[in-house]
């Protein structure tokens, strides 16, 4: 089989073995980005002691990276037409790897914050540009296969990252969370440099600096609010209120500029594509569900089930196995099955498994959790891979770079929203449940007065009251976890009508 085939516009598309190698190369590029984020979430506690930082200070290691990542994501898509996807991918991988080394060798908090911010600038290019390159490498009717393999790489990080991160920080140290990026990054750089064809040069599109500035202010403000809102007590904080107003004002100016400028920063035409807009909504939902569940499940297993961090990561690996197993088949099935039906099945299974998690108590059986997690992994692939496929099924090739950039950006927003929403809801529900349960723990309660309590729960001693408070707090937290899991299930069900907005790509004209 030949190594490449000509497309209608005179460019060349890899085929045969080279296509498979190109696919691997383009999966490795975003893998280092999502893997890094997942590892960092686990390594922060160990970094805090090593760098002599407070909990609030060390949180900026993740916040600075996420803000930079979000702000720069649409930028890379906007300039790809001028410089080309392949050169920008190589530059971003090289920058990301160098920053990883600098972060690993940092001795102060200031150093690591600077390097993390710059690392986020380079990391912002990895997902959208590699996804756009992968879509270019495949024929439109094979987008499902491309997105199936893409799903394997994208879901590997958030699913297995906490497991590996827990192992590394437990038996090595946090610096290895950065060093791991180096071999992956070098392999991705070499494979892309040697195998990925360079796209045909296009007429450079003028850059709308004002539009980008307004969008950057909006994104940075929203990302800060989502990432720091819980710590600052949300809208009881003047900082959160001011940044929310700034985000709303800057976004309004950006929208006006986009509708009135002769050369808008983002081409409004991409938002007239029903499949793309529907895909955006569902991709935000998937980011919310995936990372919202990652906020809940590991601490649930540790705090309520009593499992150490390494064991809880191993238990969750069943979800990763389910996701990666089904991803290998879903992409091929999409050539024959209406993607909307598969998305519906994925969303339904995701909602059911989230509800099932709400039925677990402190006597958590490992086998039961692993079975539910495996099914949940299957649902994630059935959900996100068809969504990715449908979203770009009818988009013109010249709009894909901008389309994948905004797609990735809104996925990041969904991820931050999921973490902020469910962490905040868990904390507030725990406090509310603790208050309600504590009202009944008094000797004036008939049930308590006539019940034979263990000696350790002596209501007349300070030690006894502290012991009772620990039990009450654990029960309050358990009820809060139940509420959170059920809220996740409800959100998934509420978003199901978005499927009716989508068109079946099999009925559309092929490119």
The tens place of each residue's pLDDT in the chain, 511 residues long, gives: 445 554 544 455 667 778 888 888 888 888 888 777 777 766 766 776 777 777 667 777 777 787 788 778 877 777 777 777 888 889 999 999 999 899 888 888 888 888 888 998 898 888 888 888 888 888 777 777 777 777 777 767 666 666 676 677 667 777 887 888 888 889 989 988 888 877 665 666 677 778 888 888 888 888 788 777 777 778 888 888 998 999 899 889 888 888 888 877 777 777 888 888 888 888 888 877 877 777 777 778 777 777 776 666 677 778 877 887 787 788 788 778 888 888 899 889 989 998 988 888 777 777 888 888 888 888 888 888 888 888 887 777 777 777 788 787 777 777 777 777 777 788 888 888 878 777 766 655 655 555 565 655 666 666 666 777 777 788 888 888 888 889 889 988 988 888 888 887 766 544 4
Listed in sequence order, the residues at least 6 apart from 76 whose beta carbon sits closer than 8 Å to its beta carbon are 88, 92, 124, 125, 128, 129, 405
Which pLDDT value is given to residue 2? Answer: 45
The residue from 161, 179, 205 where one domain ends is 205
Q: How many residues does the chain have?
A: 511
Could you give the 3-state DSSP secondary structure of residue 14?
Answer: strand
Pair (330, 438) in one structural domain: yes
Residue 478 placed within a domain: yes
Residue 5 placed within a domain: no
Pair (90, 224) in one structural domain: no
**CA distances to 24, 246, 448 from 191, in Å:** 8, 43, 68
- Least Cα distance to 387 among 415, 429, 347, 445 occurs for 347
Which pLDDT value is given to residue 509? Answer: 44
Which pLDDT value is given to residue 166? Answer: 66
Pair (140, 246) in one structural domain: no
**Structural domain of residue 138, as residue ranges?**
11-205
Pair (492, 508) in one structural domain: yes
Note whether 407 and 391 are within 8 A (CB). Answer: yes
Which pLDDT value is given to residue 10? Answer: 45
114-138 core/surface letters (b: 16 or more CB in 10 A; e: else): bbbbbbbbbbbbbbbbbbbbbbbbb
Residue 4 placed within a domain: no
Which pLDDT value is given to residue 340? Answer: 86
Which pLDDT value is given to residue 8? Answer: 44
Which pLDDT value is given to residue 1? Answer: 40
Residue 334 placed within a domain: yes
Note whether 386 and 271 are within 8 A (CB). Answer: no
When divided into structural domains, the chain yields a total of: 3
**CA distances to 26, 292, 455, 464, 474 from 468, in Å:** 54, 30, 11, 6, 10
Residue 30 placed within a domain: yes
Note whether 268 and 481 are within 8 A (CB). Answer: no
Pair (254, 275) in one structural domain: no
The residue from 264, 284, 309 where one domain ends is 264
Pair (187, 88) in one structural domain: yes
Residue 448 placed within a domain: no
Please state, in angstroms and rounded to a whole number, the distance separating the CA atoms of residues 511 and 498. 25
Which pLDDT value is given to residue 465? Answer: 66
Which ranges of 398-456 does DSSP label H, i.e. alpha helix?
A: 400-440, 446-449
Pair (339, 384) in one structural domain: yes
Pair (278, 422) in one structural domain: yes
What is the model's pTM?
0.76
Which pLDDT value is given to residue 455? Answer: 57
Please state, in angstroms and rounded to a whole number, the distance separating the CA atoms of residues 448 and 441. 7
Pair (352, 491) in one structural domain: yes
Pair (345, 424) in one structural domain: yes
Pair (245, 321) in one structural domain: no
Residue 1 placed within a domain: no
Please state, in angstroms and rounded to a whole number, the distance separating the CA atoms of residues 447 and 441. 9
CATH code for the domain of 463: 1.20.1250.20
The residue from 205, 220, 243 where one domain ends is 205
Which pLDDT value is given to residue 9? Answer: 45
- Helix, strand counts (H, E) of the chain: 17, 2
Pair (314, 381) in one structural domain: yes
Note whether 427 and 230 are within 8 A (CB). Answer: yes
**CA distances to 42, 59, 230, 483 from 417, in Å:** 19, 17, 11, 17
* Secondary structure letter of residue 451 according to DSSP: S
């Amino acid at each position: 089989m030949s190594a490449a085939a000509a497309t209608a516009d005179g460019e060349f598309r890899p085929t045969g073995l080279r296509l498979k190698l190109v696919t691997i190369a383009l999966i490795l590029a975003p893998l280092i980005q999502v893997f890094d984020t997942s590892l960092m979430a686990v390594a922060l506690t160990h970094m805090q002691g090593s760098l002599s930082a407070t909990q609030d200070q060390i949180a900026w290691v993740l916040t600075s990276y996420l803000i930079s990542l979000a702000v720069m994501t649409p930028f890379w898509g906007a300039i790809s037409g001028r410089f080309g996807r392949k050169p920008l991918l190589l530059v971003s991988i090289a920058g990301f790897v160098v920053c990883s080394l600098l972060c690993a060798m940092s001795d102060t908090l200031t150093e690591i914050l600077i390097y993390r911010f710059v690392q986020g600038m380079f990391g912002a290019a990895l997902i959208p540009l590699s996804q756009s390159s992968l879509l270019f490498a495949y024929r439109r009717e094979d987008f499902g296969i491309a997105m199936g393999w893409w799903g394997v790489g994208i879901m590997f990080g958030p699913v297995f990252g906490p497991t590996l991160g827990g192992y590394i920080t437990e038996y090595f140290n946090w610096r290895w969370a950065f060093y791991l990026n180096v071999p992956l990054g070098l392999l991705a750089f070499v494979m892309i440099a040697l195998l990925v064809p360079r796209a045909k040069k296009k007429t450079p599109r003028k850059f709308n600096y004002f539009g980008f500035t307004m969008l950057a202010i909006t994104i940075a403000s929203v990302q800060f609010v989502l990432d720091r809102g819980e710590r600052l007590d949300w809208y009881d904080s003047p900082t959160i209120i001011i940044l929310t107003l700034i985000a709303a004002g800057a976004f309004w100016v950006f929208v006006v500029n986009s509708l009135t400028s002769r050369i808008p920063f983002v081409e409004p035409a991409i938002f007239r594509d029903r499949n793309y807009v529907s895909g955006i909504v569902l991709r935000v939902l998937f980011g919310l569900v995936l990372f919202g569940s990652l906020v809940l499940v590991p601490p649930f297993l540790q705090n309520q089930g009593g499992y150490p961090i390494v064991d809880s990561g191993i238990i969750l690996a069943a979800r990763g196995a389910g996701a990666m197993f089904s991803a290998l088949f879903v992409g091929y099935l999409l050539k024959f099955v209406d993607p909307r039906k598969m998305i519906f099945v994925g969303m339904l299974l995701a909602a059911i498994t989230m509800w099932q998690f709400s039925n677990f108590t402190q006597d958590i059986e490992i086998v039961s959790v692993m079975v539910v997690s495996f099914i949940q992994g299957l649902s994630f692939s059935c959900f996100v891979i068809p969504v990715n496929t449908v979203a770009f099924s009818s988009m013109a090739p010249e709009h894909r770079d901008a389309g994948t950039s905004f797609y990735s950006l809104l996925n990041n927003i969904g991820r931050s929203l999921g973490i902020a929403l469910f962490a905040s809801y868990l904390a507030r529900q725990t406090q509310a449940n603790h208050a309600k349960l504590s009202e009944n723990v008094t000797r004036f309660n008939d049930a308590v007065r006539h019940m034979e309590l263990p000696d350790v729960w002596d209501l007349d001693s300070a030690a006894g009251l502290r012991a009772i408070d620990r039990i009450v707090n654990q029960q309050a937290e358990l009820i809060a976890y139940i509420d959170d899991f059920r809220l996740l299930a409800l959100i998934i069900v509420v978003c199901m009508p978005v499927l009716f907005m989508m068109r079946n790509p099999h009925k559309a004209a092929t490119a």
